Chains A and B, each alone.
Chain A
Amino acid sequence: MAKAKLEELESPAMLEEFYRQMVFIRRFEEKCNVAYRLGKIGGYMHTAVGMEVTPVGFNHVLKPTYDYIITAYRDHPQPLLLGSDPVAVMGEIMGRSAGLSRGKGGSMHVYDIEKGFFGGWGIVGGHIPLGAGLAFGSKYKGEDRVTLCLLGDGAANQGVVFESMNMAALWDLPIIFAIENNEFAMGTRLEYHAADTELYKRGEPFGIKSERVDGMDILSFIKDAKRIVDWVRKEQKPFVMEIMNYRYNGHGAADNDRQLYRTKEEEAAAEKRDPIARLEKVLIDRNIMNREKMEAIDEELTDQVEAIYEAADASPFPDASEVYANVYTDMDPEKGH
């Protein structure tokens, strides 16, 4: 969709769109969790339940498919919002030939390069220099793209993050280092992994403008995100954003004992801040939508996700010949055992 003007960001149509997108992502992620437990998805898989505001908000203030987006392994929502074929997204997560990488990347490595989505990376913090490189590339070519580089609070401690921030400031790279602070580096709480828990300050030593924003309220987030994206595009300089949110699921699908690092009471309290419930209240208060309509939308999107899953599940596993393809652009690797 086209980039929205600020006043349009709170129009009834826009709020309905936010709602649809956030519910769609949640239902998609929940379906992934179910499929994982059924053995239809393997390996490591990380869902964004509770963290829907960030991708949905940015999707409306960036120029989709023109701007670059790069993230870590919690990478299902972005391509879905950019208009990637959802069956290809689910197919990749399920390791099928219909997947965006024909099943060779998996849940942690979803890419849709044509749409400006650069994945999808498994080494915590490892993709941050790549993000700076995307911004370097667009600046080198004289374009006015913005690169959104998403990372978590755990990644914010990695050495390459500081190296990248230094060079981004040194060379005025148009990149947003968006630190999603969901309070946990896998199973280690923020106060046990970060000497200074105000992560937005990580940009300050480099003279990078930095700000902490609420990542659970789509209405405030979208205004913050728009202001920051517009500034980065205009100034062609970096920005550090700390987005405060919460991860309702475990770190990954294999994390099945959350009580090792947080209590059920804490989770229940966090659920009261649920960004979808919060938006539902706004929709009701402003007479934009009633509960019936919301339920109808939810049902429609749940059916849609089910159909996506069925279509992906109908796709065959990749052909054996696929194993050697794409190691190099122009030759095969050494073959055989």
Chain B
Amino acid sequence: MATIEMTYRDAISKVLAEEIEHDENVLIMGEDIGRYQGTFRVTQGMFEKYGGKRILDTPITEAGFTGIAIGAAMVGLRPVVEMMTMSFSILAMDQIINHAAKIHYMTGGQAKVPLVVRGPGGAAKQLSAQHTHCLEGWYAHAPGLKVVAPATAVDAYGMLRTAIRDDNPVIFTENPGLYTIKGEIPDDKDFSIPFGKAQILHEGNDVSLIGYSRMTQVNLAAAEALEKDGISAEVVDVRSLSPLDMTTINASVAKTHRAVVVYEDWKFGGFGGEIAARIGEESFDELDAPVVRCGGLNVPTPYARNLELECIPDVDDVIAAVRKLS
């Protein structure tokens, strides 16, 4: 199949435009996504092309417009809500967790909520404490939501299509640090990647580096550095937090017998702890060392660049975590 090289951001824009054209019930709504072209420019040019009905500028009232999207989804629309940053979705958490996630269940299957909430989660550059949350673990904690965190352009492309065509509410988290990375995208308007499938992006035999979203890119760089020291690391890209593919994770651990779980979210109580616990429960006999977590520092993200960088796991932190295992 022919492929096109493009950035993670353009891959998301491409699938949004394709789905707008594919299904008249798909619309995008969010703050500054139309006339202003989107804060991270994901919806650039779309307002002019598709108009204000399909590309809807909202007031800065996350709870209200997310609830409107949920209600509209209940009567057959397929809204894609852009959160200017995922941190702002905290205002809409009652609508997402207390309403969207439970509707199919509470109605005994009578109502469906085909909703996507997407946007950048995690640190960008010096945005301080209120704009840098990694909330995917909070959302993955709630049954009824599907939660995905693609690390590559092609996965962003394929998984966002799956999200939009899914009949359940999906949290699709991007990372500001991923928007400019490039990848090859299939030239296929129906290309999609199913949820619940982790992937091995780099084969190795000595240790499994398990992560998602931008941390997968950090793990790939760490694997390359470790290789120079004679350590063969396998990079497991989880991609989908809920549903979670433990089969692929356990198979990797069975091969390497060591695991480091890397996540940008606060280390304490984060989703990486769930993966680590599951490896302990399901692959105990395969392990030659305790499962190690490498997560963000347990502090509100500081503004000063040096302090901010200190908070986010980087290649050195991953290598240090691997060294603990030997």
Residues of A within 8 A of B (CB): 68, 70, 99-102, 104-105, 109, 111-114, 118-121, 123, 126-138, 140-141, 159-160, 163-164, 166-167, 170, 325-331, 333-334
Contacts and interface: CB of A to CB of B under 8 A. Distances in A.
A102 B109 CA distance: 9
Contacts of B53: 140
B59 to A, nearest CB: 6
B112 interface: yes
Interface stretch (B15-23, B61-69, B217-225): B61-69
Given A121-B99, A126-B98, A130-B99, A104 B71 contact: no
13 contacts: A100-B107, A101-B106, A109-B106, A111-B106, A126-B98, A128-B67, A137-B72, A137-B73, A141-B76, A159-B63, A166-B64, A167-B59, A167-B64
A236 to B, nearest CB: 14
A112 B72 contact: no
Given A101-B107, A118-B71, 4 more contacts: A126-B95, A129-B95, A130-B67, A329-B168
A271 B178 CA distance: 65
Nearest to A109: B106
Nearest to A147: B71
A132 B68 contact: yes
Contacts of B67: 126, 128-130, 132-133, 160, 164
Nearest to B29: A136
B75 A138 contact: yes
Interface in B33-89: 53, 58-59, 61, 63-77
Contacts of B146: 328
B112 A329 contact: yes
B74 A133 contact: yes
Interface in B247-304: none
A120 to B, nearest CB: 8
A255 to B, nearest CB: 22
A129 B70 contact: yes
B94 A136 contact: no
Contacts of A137: 71-77
Contact of B61 (A105, A120, A167): A167
Given A101-B110, A163-B61, A327-B143, A123 B68 contact: no
B96 to A, nearest CB: 11
B98 A123 contact: yes
Nearest to A97: B108
Given A109-B106, A137-B75, A141-B76, A126 B99 contact: yes
B316 to A, nearest CB: 34
A140 B106 contact: no
Contacts, number: 151
A325 B143 CA distance: 12
Which 3 residue pairs are nearest across A and B when measured between Cβ atoms? A133-B71, A129-B67, A163-B64
A132 B71 contact: yes
A121 B102 CA distance: 11
A333 B63 contact: no
B104 interface: yes
B70, B105, B111, most chain A CB atoms within 10 A: B105
B107 A113 contact: yes
A192 to B, nearest CB: 24
A113 B72 contact: no
B59 A136 contact: no
B144 interface: yes
A163 B112 contact: no
A317 B73 CA distance: 31
B153 interface: no
A118 B61 contact: no
Contact of A133 (B69, B108, B196): B69
B74 A105 contact: no
B77 A123 contact: no
A136 B74 CA distance: 11
Contacts of A100: 107-108, 110
A334 B140 CA distance: 11
Contact of B111 (A111, A123, A141, A170): A111
B110 A140 contact: no
Nearest to B101: A327
A134 B72 contact: yes
A111 B110 contact: yes
Nearest to B75: A137
B74 A134 contact: yes
Contacts of A126: 67, 94-95, 98-99
Contacts of B104: 326-329
